[in-house]
Structure 1
């Protein structure tokens, strides 16, 4: 029972919000839609839920055309960022709401509704909150209640829009682990929207990176982290150091930078851009190197080290403080990246990397 999205497009006035989205979500998968604000994530989620309609494209579930069905007919569970609980209802009544408003022909008996709610209260570990009102709950407790209400109708697909966005960092981390456990136990097909990379990577089976209404990359979290498919994905996932390099026989070359740890790339000779994460760069004292340390700042466990050459190439590295104890301001250093991604073209114009059997093999998690 797959959810299939094909060539989906949506426009608001002159703004093209979705530009031909193609995505298949398999039964039981937990999918993260990851991207910056305005990338089209929530619009896509709302179309799946039946709260908005596309201008073009198709949406089907288990072979049935969902664009011909109302939101109620799709049997979607939706968890909103700010919970949207009914303040005048108890926790028990909030969870029961979706069942109690079903058409009479589909509505379970009161005893069955009560049994379903009791089961969810236990499953979500909120039995003691059944008779409280939303105002008497913490943010994390409200989120559990909102999830219980969405799950009560036994949804075909569970949708979550920035489910932890209104919570503090520690509660978010705790609830992420809890939600993954709930998903695995229930076996529900789930799609959640987030702009938080850590959240997406910790929770999802697959991550869908969106930007400007298109899907930039879809894959396993480790694959996307280690092998971003476009320069946008690279920048979005923290490869913020961009170094101009020259490709020669599949190897990148740059003065003062030891690139021997990087795998050979099946790319044409010529200019390219190397994308690096600061944590993957090790500055090594070298009196012959063209780079000099211009800044050193400690964050406690890490040293932030900035090195620059005479041509103005500025590179920021993060190293464990104990490994950088020999570094000094003004010291010449060579740079040794442990990992990076290379795209054809100069900085800020780097294109999609050339896909070859060699690079695809390297991309396996």
Structure 2
């Protein structure tokens, strides 16, 4: 049972918030829609849920046209960031709500409803909380109740909109692991919206990176992390050191940098931009190297360093504190790149996605609209 979106477009006045979205989601997948605010994630989720309709495009589930069906007919489970629980209802009544409002012909009997609620309370590990009111629960407990209410109707697709955004960091981490276990046990096709990269990468089978109403890249978390397909994805995923380099017979070259660890790229010769994560830059003491350490600061586990050369090039790097004991301010260093991504074009915002990148990157780009 595949959820298929084709050429989905949505406008609000003159503003185009979705610009031709193409996406296939298989049964049982857990998909993360990842991107900054305003990228179109929630707008896309609302269209899937039946709370909004596109101006163009198609949406089908298992070959059936969902755009001709209401939200209730699609049998969608929805979980919001702020729970949206009924404060005057106890936990078990909140969970049972979706079943109790079904049309009479579809509504289970009271015994069946109670059995479903008890099963979900146990499954979601909140069995002792059934007779409490939402105000008596923690944020994490409320989110479990919200998930139980969404699952009670046995949805075809479960949609979560920033489900952990209102919780503190430790609770978010705990609930992420818990939700992945719930998903694997229940086998429900799940789509969740987030702007948190760690959350998307830890939870999702595939990540869909969105920007300005478009899908920039779709792939497994490790694929996207290691092989960002566009400069936007590279920057969004922390490759925030951008350096002008030269491509020469597939090799990446730059004065004062050791780029020998980077693989050859199937790209034309000429100027390019190299994107690096600070943690992938290793400073090696070398009295003949052009870069000099101008700043060293400890965060406890890491040393954050700044290296500059005589041309005004300034590079920030991070190294484990215990591995950087030999580094001192004023020392000349050779900067070795352990990993990175390169795109044709200059570093002044004109880098573009590679026309013929490595096989992995090329395969990833085939998923773009």
| Residue number in structure 2 paired with 1:256 | 256
What is the 5 A alignment of 1:1-365? 1-347=1-347, 348-356=349-357, 358-360=359-361
- With structure 1 as the length reference, what TM-score do the two structures score? 0.98
Shift of 1:358: 3.8
Return closer, same or farther for 1:46/1:361 CA change in 2, 3 Å cut-off: closer
Whether the 8 Å contact between 1:226 and 1:363 is mirrored in structure 2 is: no
Whether the 8 Å contact between 2:4 and 2:25 is mirrored in structure 1 is: yes
Return closer, same or farther for 1:359/1:79 CA change in 2, 3 Å cut-off: closer
What SS does structure 2 have at the residue aligned with 1:199?
A: helix
Whether the 8 Å contact between 1:86 and 1:134 is mirrored in structure 2 is: yes
Query: For 2:245 and 2:297, how far apart are their aligned partners in 1?
Result: 27
Whether the 8 Å contact between 2:265 and 2:358 is mirrored in structure 1 is: no
Deviations 1:221-265 (A, max 9, x none): 000000000000000000000010011100011111000000000
Shift of 1:328: 1.3
Query: For 2:252 and 2:83, how far apart are their aligned partners in 1?
Result: 50
**Structure 1: stretches of 5+ with no match in the other structure:** none
Stretches of 4+ moved more than 4 A in 1? Answer: 359-364
What SS does structure 1 have at the residue aligned with 2:257?
A: coil
Query: For 1:106 and 1:358, how far apart are their aligned partners in 2?
Result: 51
Query: For 1:313 and 1:362, how far apart are their aligned partners in 2?
Result: 34
Query: For 2:77 and 2:187, how far apart are their aligned partners in 1?
Result: 14
What SS does structure 1 have at the residue aligned with 2:39?
A: coil
Query: For 1:80 and 1:363, how far apart are their aligned partners in 2?
Result: 31
Shift of 1:354: 2.7
Whether the 8 Å contact between 1:265 and 1:358 is mirrored in structure 2 is: no
**Structure 2: stretches of 5+ with no match in the other structure:** none
Query: For 2:183 and 2:143, how far apart are their aligned partners in 1?
Result: 15
Whether the 8 Å contact between 2:75 and 2:156 is mirrored in structure 1 is: yes
Whether the 8 Å contact between 2:245 and 2:272 is mirrored in structure 1 is: yes
Shift of 1:95: 0.2
Shift of 1:353: 1.7
Query: For 2:161 and 2:172, how far apart are their aligned partners in 1?
Result: 14
Please tell me the root mean square deviation across aligned C-alpha atoms, in Å. 1.3
